[in-house]
């Protein structure tokens, strides 16, 4: 992967380790995010394969109960916070400035800080495996199972501290992205000319900005419960375990849209370009995305239908959840409308995008099914829900991200990924994914609860569990094909050119990979599909002036120092207060140096 990292920015003079540690270039930061996210994705995949291996046969003995609980908990945390979100953040970093026509994000050093804090959080969370056991209470950490009384190992404290650190990183990144999108657009790039991908990122940024603080409060309260003996969530001393569920899902449901909206954006970029026609219903797709974001804050309690909410909240949250199916449906129809009448070039990126439509639709359908509380009485905490979330998050989010890999890798590295391997990659993942996750619908219908480390023969669950496990191996092979493809591609000479796909958005007018300053001349945008407009109207690119001195912000090591301070504070929160103090001093030093550092 190191070669991939290098190649994604190969035009830059300085490629030493120090230049990476002090970089403030959004493209380098995006590349590190993408590669780190992909490595964590492999780790989460390994955990998933172990979980599937344990469940392949009744009374499996591959993992013991505790290890199983750690693996399924860490699988979810890794995939959500360390895999899908950072791979998304990688694309955001790389392409927001390119798409809106800017030289960098609004706050380049803050961007570097987000990256280093994310990496600190990811390593911290995973270090728990070697320091007394990983979190084992589920990614949702339901009280009172997450309390010190019932989770005595330090795993759930790692969960609290790790998520606080990762949340800080996401919050800073989201603030940066939101300001960049609103405030750094090239001349003529009105909001309704923004690429749909950028619109979805903007919605995601606001979802995180408004939901992370709520999770932060819940995590702090859980930390106080576990470490300092308060009882926010412990019922024996007046606390309320249901309060934790509300807090968690007020964050947790918007988080689902944080994971899926970027992929919806990617598909909305890939399909028009490959169909060689404009996106069908741009405004409808944008408004549907925004509507999903707004409604996403009003549906959280559908995760709690079985907790005894009472009929009135059940009806309200059931209705709002069903309502969110409407904008989702609008999006699917508009993507189909984009394909309709096209002359669709079926490259691997197209395969993944079309695969996204099919598979995400299945996840969407099952999601609307358990919007009905009586039906949810059967689905909740059964394998039906496991099938549902994986059709949304694998069939949706991951398929979209892979479409993005194939679509943008040439821009990031100057090289086109191999199409033959790409199609093999798609078909193994597509077949593997359906073999793994579709049978889980059957298992749910047959009453198999989720999060069980073992089951008896004679329940009628054997066959489909075995099929799902075999499917997960095929899926893993599919992901490895992608790794092979990347390695193979990195060994060849750059062959992509500026614009291998006939793209419509600004990034395709500049070299691949782009120079550090992105645009020799800040482009002027005249249409929603600026490059197609220029092509159709015979508008030549603005000539580059002779003395084109472009000043980019210099590298800085202060983000690294602040991140180190934050990591020390987190380590201290897990061990002893003295380290917290040390971390605070380091952070304050870093911020002070940051503030006084000249930026020109």
Tell me which residues in 478-537 interact with other proteins (CB under 8 A): 521-524
Asked whether position 447 contacts other proteins by CB under 8 A, the answer is: yes
**What is the C-alpha separation between 86 and 115, in angstroms, rounded?**
9
- Give the DSSP letter of residue 600: -
Asked whether position 344 contacts other proteins by CB under 8 A, the answer is: yes
Q: How many CB atoms are closer than 10 A to CB 585?
A: 12
Binding region for other proteins (CB under 8 A) out of 78-86, 258-266, 370-378, 481-489: 370-378
Among 17, 130, 458, 491, interactor with other proteins by CB under 8 A: 458
Task: Compute the half-sphere exposure of residue 402: CA atoms within 13 Å on the CB side of its CA.
Answer: 31
In angstroms and rounded to an integer, the radius of gyration of the C-alpha atoms of the chain is 24
Interaction pattern, residues 239-268, with other proteins; x per rule: CB under 8 A: xxxxx---x--x------------------
- Catalytic-labelled residue, pool 25, 255, 269, 529: 255
Binding region for other proteins (CB under 8 A) out of 28-36, 180-188, 406-414, 505-513: 180-188
Interaction pattern, residues 14-53, with other proteins; x per rule: CB under 8 A: ----------------------------------------
* 203 in Cβ contact with 268 (< 8 Å): no
Residue 104 falls in the annotated catalytic set? yes
Asked whether position 452 contacts other proteins by CB under 8 A, the answer is: yes
Asked whether position 7 contacts other proteins by CB under 8 A, the answer is: no
**What is the C-alpha separation between 48 and 284, in angstroms, rounded?**
37
Nearer to other proteins by C-beta: 283 or 575? 283
- Catalytic-labelled residue, pool 231, 275, 321, 328: 328
Among 14, 192, 294, 340, interactor with other proteins by CB under 8 A: 340
- Give the DSSP letter of residue 545: P
Asked whether position 148 contacts other proteins by CB under 8 A, the answer is: no
- Catalytic-labelled residue, pool 26, 67, 94, 104: 104
**What is the C-alpha separation between 325 and 331, in angstroms, rounded?**
10
The continuous run of DSSP H or E covering 135 comes out as none
List phi, psi (to 5°) of 382.
Answer: -110, 175
The answer, yes or no, to whether the previous bond of 144 is cis (omega within 30 of 0) is yes
Among 33, 38, 430, 464, interactor with other proteins by CB under 8 A: 464
Considering only residues 69 to 98 of the shown chain, the ones binding other proteins according to CB under 8 A are 69
Binding region for other proteins (CB under 8 A) out of 6-14, 262-270, 280-288, 574-582: 280-288
- What's the first-to-final CA gap in the chain, in angstroms? 33
Considering only residues 95 to 124 of the shown chain, the ones binding other proteins according to CB under 8 A are 103-104, 106-107
Considering only residues 206 to 245 of the shown chain, the ones binding other proteins according to CB under 8 A are 209-214, 216-218, 220-221, 224, 228-232, 235-243
Binding region for other proteins (CB under 8 A) out of 80-88, 327-335, 423-431, 485-493: 327-335
Asked whether position 156 contacts other proteins by CB under 8 A, the answer is: no
* 480 in Cβ contact with 425 (< 8 Å): no
- Catalytic-labelled residue, pool 26, 27, 28, 75: 75
Nearer to other proteins by C-beta: 176 or 413? 176
User: CA separation (Å) from 288 to 128, 199, 274?
Assistant: 40, 11, 22
Residue 153 falls in the annotated catalytic set? no
Residue 255 falls in the annotated catalytic set? yes
Dig out the tokens for 405 from the structure: 């890999």
> By C-alpha distance, which of 307, 314, 432, 466 is closest to 381?
307
Place of tokens 């990688």: 90
Residue 47 falls in the annotated catalytic set? no
Nearer to other proteins by C-beta: 144 or 513? 144
Count of positions on this chain that bind other proteins (CB under 8 A): 154
Dig out the tokens for 467 from the structure: 């099929």
* 343 in Cβ contact with 271 (< 8 Å): no
List phi, psi (to 5°) of 449.
Answer: -70, 155
The gap from C-alpha 299 to its chain's centroid, in whole angstroms, comes to 21
Give the nearest distance from C-beta 520 to other proteins in angstroms: 9
Residue 589 falls in the annotated catalytic set? no
Dig out the tokens for 357 from the structure: 């439509």
Nearer to other proteins by C-beta: 497 or 554? 554
Give the nearest distance from C-beta 497 to other proteins in angstroms: 19
Give the nearest distance from C-beta 137 to other proteins in angstroms: 8
- Catalytic-labelled residue, pool 253, 388, 390, 528: 253
Helices (H), 380-529: 383-392, 399-413, 419-445, 462-490
Residue 73 falls in the annotated catalytic set? no
**What is the C-alpha separation between 395 and 432, in angstroms, rounded?**
11
- Catalytic-labelled residue, pool 302, 370, 415, 528: 302
- In DSSP notation, 370-395 reads TTSHHHHHHHTTBHHHHHHHHHHIII
Asked whether position 599 contacts other proteins by CB under 8 A, the answer is: yes
Residue 139 falls in the annotated catalytic set? yes
* 106 in Cβ contact with 179 (< 8 Å): yes
Binding region for other proteins (CB under 8 A) out of 87-95, 112-120, 174-182, 574-582: 174-182
Give the active site residues.
Answer: 75, 104, 139, 169-170, 253, 255, 257, 268, 302-303, 328, 331, 450
């Amino acid at each position: 992967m190191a070669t991939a990292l290098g190649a994604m920015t190969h035009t830059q003079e300085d490629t030493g380790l120090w230049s990476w540690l002090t970089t403030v270039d959004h493209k380098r930061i995006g590349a590190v995010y993408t590669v780190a996210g992909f490595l964590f994705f492999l780790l989460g995949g390994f955990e998933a394969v172990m979980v599937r291996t344990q469940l392949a046969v009744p009374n499996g003995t591959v993992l013991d109960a505790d290890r199983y609980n750690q693996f399924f908990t860490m699988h979810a945390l890794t995939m959500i916070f360390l895999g899908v979100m950072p791979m998304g953040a990688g694309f955001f970093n790389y392409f927001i400035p390119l798409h809106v026509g800017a030289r960098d994000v609004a706050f380049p050093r803050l961007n570097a800080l987000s990256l280093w804090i994310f990496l600190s959080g990811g390593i911290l969370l995973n270090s728990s495996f070697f320091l007394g056991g990983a979190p084992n209470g589920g990614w949702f950490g339901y009280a009172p199972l997450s309390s010190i009384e019932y989770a005595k190992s330090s795993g759930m404290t790692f969960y609290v501290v790790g998520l606080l650190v990762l949340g800080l990183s996401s919050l800073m990144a989201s603030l940066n992205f939101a300001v960049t999108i609103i405030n750094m657009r090239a001349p003529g790039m009105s909001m309704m000319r923004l690429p749909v991908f950028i619109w979805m990122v903007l919605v995601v940024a606001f979802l995180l900005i408004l939901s992370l603080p709520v999770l932060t409060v819940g995590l702090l309260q859980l930390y106080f419960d576990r470490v300092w003996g308060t009882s926010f969530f412990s019922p024996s001393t007046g606390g309320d375990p249901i309060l934790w569920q509300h807090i968690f899902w007020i964050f947790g449901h918007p988080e689902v849209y944080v994971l899926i909206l970027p992929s919806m954006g990617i598909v909305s970029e890939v399909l028009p370009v490959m169909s060689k026609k404009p996106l069908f219903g741009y405004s409808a797709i944008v408004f549907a995305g925004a509507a999903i974001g707004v409604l996403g804050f009003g549906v959280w309690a559908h995760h709690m239908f079985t907790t005894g909410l009472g009929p009135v909240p059940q009806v309200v949250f059931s209705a709002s959840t069903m309502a969110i199916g409407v904008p989702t449906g609008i999006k699917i129809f508009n993507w189909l409308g984009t394909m309709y009448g096209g002359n669709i070039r079926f490259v691997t990126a197209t395969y993944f995008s079309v695969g996204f439509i099919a598979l995400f639709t299945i996840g969407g359908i099952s999601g609307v099914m358990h919007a009905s509380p009586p039906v949810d009485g059967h689905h909740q905490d059964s394998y039906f829900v496991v099938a549902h979330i994986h059709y949304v998050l694998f069939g949706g989010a991951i398929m979209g991200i892979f479409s993005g890999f194939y679509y943008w890798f040439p821009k990031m590295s100057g090289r086109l990924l191999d199409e033959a391997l790409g199609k093999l990659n798609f078909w193994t993942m597509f077949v593997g994914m359906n073999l793994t996750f579709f049978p889980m619908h059957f298992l749910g219908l047959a009453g198999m609860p989720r999060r069980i480390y073992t089951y008896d023969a004679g329940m009628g669950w054997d066959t489909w569990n075995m099929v799902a496990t075999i499917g997960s191996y095929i899926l893993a092979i599919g992901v490895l094909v992608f790794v092979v493809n990347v390695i193979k591609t990195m060994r060849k000479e750059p062959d992509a050119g500026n614009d291998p796909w006939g793209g419509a958005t600004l990034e395709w007018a500049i070299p691949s990979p782009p120079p550090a300053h992105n645009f020799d001349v800040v482009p002027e945008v005249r249409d929603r599909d600026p490059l197609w407009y220029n092509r159709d109207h015979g508008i030549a690119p603005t000539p580059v002036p002779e003395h084109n001195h472009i000043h980019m912000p210099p590298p800085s090591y202060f983000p690294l120092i602040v991140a180190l301070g934050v990591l020390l504070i987190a380590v201290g929160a897990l061990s002893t207060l003295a380290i917290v103090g040390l971390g605070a001093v380091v952070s304050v030093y870093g911020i002070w140096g940051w503030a006084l550092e000249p930026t020109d």
